[in-house]
């Protein structure tokens, strides 16, 4: 079997047999990898704690036909700091779920790895009511489905932008509107997120606008992946 090494972020894991687990890892150079971690459910296992969701690891694996096998794991950064606050934990888990749904097995996607790593690091260091929403919007943009937010998707008008239509892919003017209403402040916040002013957007206080774009972001992500996000039930922005 081929042995290889990579850096990755643990997306999730589930039981296999009496003592093993299957771990799903978003790696830097090998895409999303599913691998058997043998014996990690035993009390004496040294690597079990290193393979918790959100852990950033240096991992060595043997390539298999369908499942790889974990050989060695070194912890680069744990997710411990995110476990102290429920909001941060659930936002982090929501980021993992979105990447898990978008990433293809064994399809190299270094941009997804870098985006997830950067988002988790920012989540550890900063509080923001639009942290998760911003990640969803940036992730959608990276996947080639960036919404149009500066002009109407119907007629290209740049004034009186009053609605957002997920199916049409962006904002709409009063004449073209078919989507749901969007406030001026929410549109400005969304334009900051997608227009190169992410740090400014993350620094904004909680508001009805942050709630608006968070709700829209969840709907847009679920529309893209064509399923409900399980983690959304755990995390609901306060109005």
List per-block mean pLDDT (blocks of 10 residues) for the chain, which spans 239 residues.
94 90 97 94 73 95 95 91 88 97 96 97 95 97 96 97 97 97 98 97 97 96 94 55
Classify residue 154: in a domain, yes or no.
yes
**Last-in-domain residue among 18, 52, 80:** 80
What pLDDT is attached to residue 44? Answer: 64
What pLDDT is attached to residue 232? Answer: 73
Classify residue 100: in a domain, yes or no.
no
44 and 134 in a single domain? The answer is no
- Domain extent, residue 178, equals 126-233
Helices and strands, counts by H and E, the chain: 6, 8
Classify residue 99: in a domain, yes or no.
no
- Nearest-angstrom CA–CA distance, 3 and 218: 38
64 and 140 in a single domain? The answer is no
Residues 6+ apart with CB under 8 A from 155: 173, 175, 176
Classify residue 104: in a domain, yes or no.
no
Helix (H) or strand (E) holding 163, with range, is strand 161-165
pTM of the entire predicted model: 0.93
- The CATH number of whichever domain residue 28 belongs to comes to 2.40.50.140
Q: How many domains does the chain have?
A: 2
- Nearest-angstrom CA–CA distance, 239 and 217: 15
142 and 70 in a single domain? The answer is no
How far apart, in Å, are the Cα atoms of 59 and each of 28, 52, 96, 199? Answer: 11, 13, 18, 32
Calculate the CA 133 to chain-centre distance. Answer: 9
Classify residue 96: in a domain, yes or no.
no
Beta 3-16 vs 20-27: how paired, if at all? Answer: antiparallel
51 and 134 in a single domain? The answer is no
Classify residue 215: in a domain, yes or no.
yes
What pLDDT is attached to residue 49? Answer: 78
**Last-in-domain residue among 80, 96, 115:** 80
């Amino acid at each position: 079997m081929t042995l290889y090494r990579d850096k990755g972020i643990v997306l999730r894991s589930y039981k296999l047999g009496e003592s093993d687990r299957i771990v799903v890892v978003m790696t830097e150079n090998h895409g999303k990898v599913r691998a058997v971690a043998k014996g990690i459910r035993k009390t004496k296992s040294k690597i079990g704690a290193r393979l918790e969701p959100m852990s950033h690891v240096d991992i060595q694996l043997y390539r298999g036909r369908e499942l790889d096998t974990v050989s060695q794991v070194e912890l680069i950064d744990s997710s411990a700091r995110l476990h102290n606050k429920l909001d941060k934990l659930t936002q982090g888990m929501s980021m993992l779920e979105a990447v898990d749904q978008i990433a293809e097995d064994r399809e190299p996607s270094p941009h997804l790895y870098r985006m997830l790593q950067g988002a988790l690091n920012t989540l550890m260091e900063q509080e923001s009511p639009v942290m998760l929403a911003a990640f969803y919007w940036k992730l959608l943009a990276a996947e080639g489905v960036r919404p149009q937010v500066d002009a109407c998707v119907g007629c290209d008008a740049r004034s009186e932008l009053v609605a957002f239509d997920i199916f049409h892919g962006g904002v709409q003017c009063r004449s073209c509107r078919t989507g749901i209403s969007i406030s001026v402040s929410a549109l400005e916040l969304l334009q900051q997120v997608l227009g190169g002013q992410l740090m400014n957007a993350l620094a904004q206080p909680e508001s009805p606008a942050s709630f608006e774009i968070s709700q829209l972001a969840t709907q847009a992500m679920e529309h893209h992946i064509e399923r409900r996000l399980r983690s959304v039930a755990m995390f609901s922005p306060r109005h």
